[in-house]
Amino acid sequence: MCVVAKKLAVIGAGLMGSGIAQVSAQAGWDVVLRDVTDEALRRGTDGIRASYEKFVSKGKLEAEEAERALGRITTTTDLDAAADADVVVEAVFEKIEVKREIFRALDELVKDDTILASNTSAIPITKIAAATRRPERVVGTHFFSPVPMMGLCELVRGHKTSDETLAAAREFAEGVGKTCIVVNRDVAGFVTTRLISALVVEAAKLYESGVATAEDIDTACKLGFGHAMGPLATADLTGVDILLHATDNIYTESQDEKFAPPEIMRRMVDAGDIGRKSGEGFYRY
């Protein structure tokens, strides 16, 4: 819990942004959740409310605590609402042009000592920070989905991220209940996305070439390596489209062939078969 209530602005009310807002409000932060449409905000807050209700029904959260947390979250379509935030976490689509535009605008709005964080899973923080005049205050805070359930936060240093900023980001992430790892060198994909991307790409190639079924590939990883979930089921849960963007970003930066997505992933995305959220991916749901 935060000793003194501080203000957090979360930019993007999708699955990741709403999850970050949820755990932060529960930890005592006053949260403003911003998206470009009222409908996106409604979906985000509905998801937060449903998640709190699930925790209450399982006895993991008191109903009064859930109501207090919900009361700490306000929504807006106005980016100016982030002006007095102590920490801003951007959680929008993985397009560097979109992220740089947001950070450029935030740079003009927020306080001098505000921490500007990106929830990107693959885009180098240095490239995002370069859109601001304060790259030393920009850091990566890569949460994992679903945020209320997953215990990890990957902290990423940009080329100019200061020790003070990294320490503040760690304090924030640990304060909302996460265990942190630190990525000291700003390589595309950081640690976790490089690992899962390489595994998913190879698994998809094995599946594409008929070496084994999706079920058997995933079973091999679960029983052979002790993974909680196989790589193709993970792709479906995360979204084949999301992983395709991530692997493309890493491949573009590194030119390492092990990150080159196989054709089947592109065709699945073209067809809309992007995993659980569409009802079909490597598996049917």
pLDDT digits (tens, 9 = 90+) for 76-110: 999 999 999 999 999 998 889 999 999 999 999 99
SS3 152: strand
User: Shortest CA distance to 188 belongs to which of 112, 96, 276?
Assistant: 96
What integer is the mean pLDDT of 176-190?
96
Residues 91 and 11: beta-carbon distance below 8 Å: yes
Predicted confidence band at 122 (pLDDT cuts at 50, 70, 90)? confident
What are 96's two structure tokens?
């560097």
- Residue 249 is predicted with a pLDDT of 87
Q: How far is CA 131 from the centre of its chain?
A: 20
Rounded percentage of the chain residues whose pLDDT exceeds 70: 98
What pLDDT is attached to residue 141? 98
Give how far Cα 262 sits from Cα of 118, 189, 205, 210, 271, Å. 28, 18, 6, 13, 15
Chain center to CA of 62 = 27
Closest CA to 86 of 180, 172, 22, 3: 172
Structure tokens at 194: 């490089």
Q: How many Cβ atoms from other residues are within 10 Å of residue 4's Cβ? A: 6
Residue of 201, 141, 206, 210 whose CA lies nearest to 176 = 141
DSSP symbols for 202-261: HHHHHHHTTSS-HHHHHHHHHHHH--SS-HHHHHHHH-HHHHHHHHHHHHHHH--GGGS-
- State the average pLDDT over residues 119-132: 95
Q: What is the pLDDT of residue 1?
A: 39
Residue 159 · residue 186 · CB < 8 Å: yes
Average pLDDT over residues 191-207: 96
DSSP state, residue 131: T
Is pLDDT of 280 > 90?
yes
The 10 Å CB-count burial string (b at 16+, else e) for 7-27 is: bbbbbbbbbbbbbbbbbbbbb
Q: Which domains does the chain have, with CATH numbers?
A: 7-183 (3.40.50.720), 193-271 (1.10.1040.50)
pLDDT value for 5: 58
Query: DSSP state, 191?
Result: T
Instruction: Decide if pLDDT at 244 tops 90.
Output: yes
pTM for this structure? 0.90
Average pLDDT, the chain: 96
Overall average pLDDT of the 234-259 stretch: 93
The answer on pLDDT for 4 being more than 70 is no
**Above 60 in pLDDT, residue 130?**
yes
